[in-house]
A and B are shown apart, each in its own frame.
Chain A
Amino acid sequence: DQQVKQNSPSLSVQEGRISILNCDYTNSMFDYFLWYKKYPAEGPTFLISISSIKDKNEDGRFTVFLNKSAKHLSLHIVPSQPGDSAVYFCAASAWGAQKLVFGQGTRLTINP
């Protein structure tokens, strides 16, 4: 049972435009959500997180939105840059649990 789903395996965006990556989850016990970025042959790099008590968190060009009623979160990158080309994973953890549950990832390609 895939508790965290990223339904778009890939996304292509023009440089300077907005990139929107989506993630859905099924476990209502999840209360902390994270986005990681991964380059080939490297480990995931933490980007931004959000607690379930918030619906938005911003850090520079990155904003994460959380819609608890829809069990949906999204990552917005504005403006998109060529260096943003990577695989993006969303992850979630439940209160009291330590493990992260990851989605399958979305490959983002920024075109010049």
Chain B
Amino acid sequence: DTGVSQNPRHKITKRGQNVTFRCDPISEHNRLYWYRQTLGQGPEFLTYFQNEAQLEKSRLLSDRFSAERPKGSFSTLEIQRTEQGDSAMYLCASSASGGGETQYFGPGTRLLVL
């Protein structure tokens, strides 16, 4: 399967703990995105990379959140000192550069903060 993959698929943690999620994009895609989806809402943009450069961050991405894409391939999203409000589905997507920004999504990581 050559689609976007995300690990883990599920994560349960206690409030105050740190968590890290990984995303592997489609291999030929140089753009990578993180979104967050809560119940009853559409996905909300968090951040975007072109190759290894993080080019845009949403106001939703508080200073407890950090994302990296060190070699322009896979990406990690870390949440420090998790809060119950961080409970959500975290989605990764990738796209090729050029016209028509069709983004292809992974299966997501569902985070539950107790």
Binding site for B on A (CB under 8 A): 4, 32, 34, 36, 41-46, 49, 51, 89, 91, 93, 98-105
Contacts and interface: CB of A to CB of B under 8 A. Distances in A.
A41 B50 CA distance: 27
A98 B55 contact: yes
A11 B108 CA distance: 25
B33 A46 contact: no
A37 to B, nearest CB: 11
B40 A104 contact: yes
Given A44-B105, A49-B102, A98-B101, 9 more contacts: A32-B101, A34-B102, A34-B103, A43-B93, A43-B105, A43-B108, A98-B50, A99-B48, A100-B45
Nearest to B55: A98
Interface string B48-80: 101000011010000000000000000000000
Nearest to B3: A43
Contacts of B55: 98
B42 interface: yes
A89 B102 contact: no
Contacts, number: 63
Interface SS of chain A = strand
11 contacts: A32-B100, A32-B101, A41-B110, A43-B91, A43-B105, A44-B105, A91-B42, A98-B33, A100-B33, A100-B43, A100-B103
Contacts of A46: 102-105
Given A99-B48, A100-B45, A42 B101 contact: no
Contacts of B106: 43
Given A100-B43, A103-B42, A43 B101 contact: no
Contacts of A100: 33, 35, 43, 45, 101, 103
- Nearest first, the 10 A-B pairs at minimum CB distance are A102-B42, A43-B105, A99-B45, A44-B105, A43-B107, A43-B108, A98-B48, A102-B43, A89-B42, A43-B106
Nearest to A103: B42
Contacts of A98: 31, 33, 48, 50, 55-56, 101
